[in-house]
Amino acid sequence: MRKFAALLVILALVVAFAPTVSQTQAQGKVKLVIESWRNDDTVLWEDVIIPAFNAHYPDIEVTFVAPPPAEYNAALNAKLEGGTAGDLITCRPFDLSLDLFNKGYLLSLNDLPGIEHFGDVARSAWITDDGSDVFCVPMASVIHGFMYNVDIFEELALEVPETEAEFFEALQTIKDAGYIPLAMGTHDLWEAATMGYQNIGPTYWKGEEGRLGLINGTVGYNEDGFLEAFKVLARWAPFLPDGYQATTYSDAQNLFTVLEEAAIYPTGSWEIGVFGLMNPDLNMSAFKPPVVNEGDTCYISDHVDIAMGVNAASPHKEEALKFLEWMTTQEFAQIYSDALPGFFSLSDHELTLENPVAQEFISWRGQCETTIRSSYQILSRGEPNNENDLWLYSAEVLNGTLSPEEAANKVQEGLANWYEPQMNR
């Protein structure tokens, strides 16, 4: 009897302290934290992306943490150094993330299932210089091109220009009709390079062939396609707004969207969502950079923007890798690209997007060779900074203060000042 009573006491204690089924499941959940600078995307991650992942992995709880973008780099470095960073790290392109990998903060992802869906251009911002390690899963890019006002084109009976000659003929027709042909200024400098030189340039230096030639030292900025791109850019000047030297980035945006005084906006796909908010009634579409001659191969700058890696110190590497593997899928690519029009998955999955302008941009991947901006991989590590030189001298070409040849020589001299493969050219 005493034994029976003791057994009842033991059973009662077991029941009292044993977790319920729901408690067991809660305790069994793994919690992952994503570190990011994209605080504008918080609702997207919390309401769309994470629930889609949890449909496959309900026992992995994911939290999205995003401080103000300007604070991200310093905050992330402090967390990594202190051992308090999240499990998944949103990766900026090129050297900032490469530095994290070299310091041992990011895992190599060479063996991640699904990484094969990302080609050489997609991986270029998150790979070691020798190509031996990929350390972030590419998430999205932006594509360069030209947006245009469909109503103005229809009014002037203009076709979308396919060749360089057609492009300049269209600009002259637009100018003769009293509209601004190209909504762009040089006041802020960067637009002249990013939306001008780097937009049309791949057509002339043949995309990856020319870009890798700069890195390898087999071609310079003052020759071949790189010089030709400066020459073509100089021809834009008569078609820019009056007083374009004082025209800012926001001024140019307003000329195209709110005021609808400009027919064409040299740009990147990142503007799609912004322009939709600035003027929801704007009837706009896009065309890719024209080729020189009909039938030539077309090239687009499909510039890498954002990726994600795994914190090497995460206690939940297995679960974090599952999240990254899911990010390589068609499902993630479709969700992300539709939710952020103009930011396109870098995977090789074929996508049909809801936003018609975004769909136009992404369709060029099936028509053209892709590349990235020439100055971003390796070439902006020294002084003078190659990217900053392109900003300055592209603007001076448009302002008429430097000839294309002078600008090309200055950019080349700056690069050869510190980059050994270019020193003897």
- Per the DSSP assignment, residues forming a β-bridge with 145 are 267
- Per the DSSP assignment, residues forming a β-bridge with 147 are 265, 286
Secondary structure (3-state) at 323: helix
Q: pLDDT digits over 258-288, tens only?
A: 999 999 999 999 999 999 999 999 999 999 9
Say what the pLDDT of residue 20 is: 32
Average pLDDT over residues 81-98: 97
Percentage above 90 pLDDT, the chain: 93
Query: Is residue 369 within 8 Å of residue 159, measured between CB atoms?
Result: no
Say what the pLDDT of residue 28 is: 75
Nearest to 111 by CA among 91, 87, 134: 134
Q: Is the model more confident about 90 or about 24?
A: 90
**pTM greater than 0.85 (yes/no):** yes
Query: Is residue 311 within 8 Å of residue 320, measured between CB atoms?
Result: yes
384 preceded by cis ω (within 30°)? yes
Q: Is the model more confident about 97 or about 24?
A: 97
Retrieve residue 300's tokens. 């687009």
Say what the pLDDT of residue 316 is: 98
Retrieve residue 424's tokens. 């003897």
Residue 7 has pLDDT above 80, yes or no: no
Average pLDDT over residues 122-130: 97
Element (H, E) at 231: helix 224-234
Distance CA 264, CA 150 (A): 9
Residue 11 has pLDDT above 90, yes or no: no
Phi/psi-derived region of residue 373, left when phi > 0, alpha when psi is between -120 and 50, beta in every other case: beta
Q: Is the model more confident about 10 or about 78?
A: 78
Query: What is the pLDDT of the chain when averaged over all its residues?
Result: 94
Residue 21 has pLDDT above 80, yes or no: no
Q: pLDDT digits over 382-394, tens only?
A: 999 999 999 999 9
Say what the pLDDT of residue 425 is: 81
Residue 213 has pLDDT above 70, yes or no: yes
Say what the pLDDT of residue 424 is: 86
Structural domains of the chain sorted by starting position, each given as residue range(s) with its CATH number in brackets: 29-141+303-365 (3.40.190.10), 143-301+372-422 (3.40.190.10)
Residue 227 has pLDDT above 80, yes or no: yes
DSSP string computed for 167-206: HHHHHHHHHHTTSEEE---STTSHHIIIIIIHHHHHHHHT
Q: pLDDT digits over 247-265, tens only?
A: 999 999 999 999 999 999 9
Residue 24 has pLDDT above 90, yes or no: no
Query: Is residue 362 within 8 Å of residue 349, measured between CB atoms?
Result: no
Q: pLDDT digits over 334-369, tens only?
A: 999 999 999 999 999 999 999 999 999 999 999 999
Say what the pLDDT of residue 27 is: 55
Say what the pLDDT of residue 306 is: 97
Q: Which residues contact 321 (CB under 8 A, 6 or more apart)?
A: 107, 112, 310
Nearest to 32 by CA among 307, 312, 315, 308: 315
Distance CA 26, CA 245 (A): 61
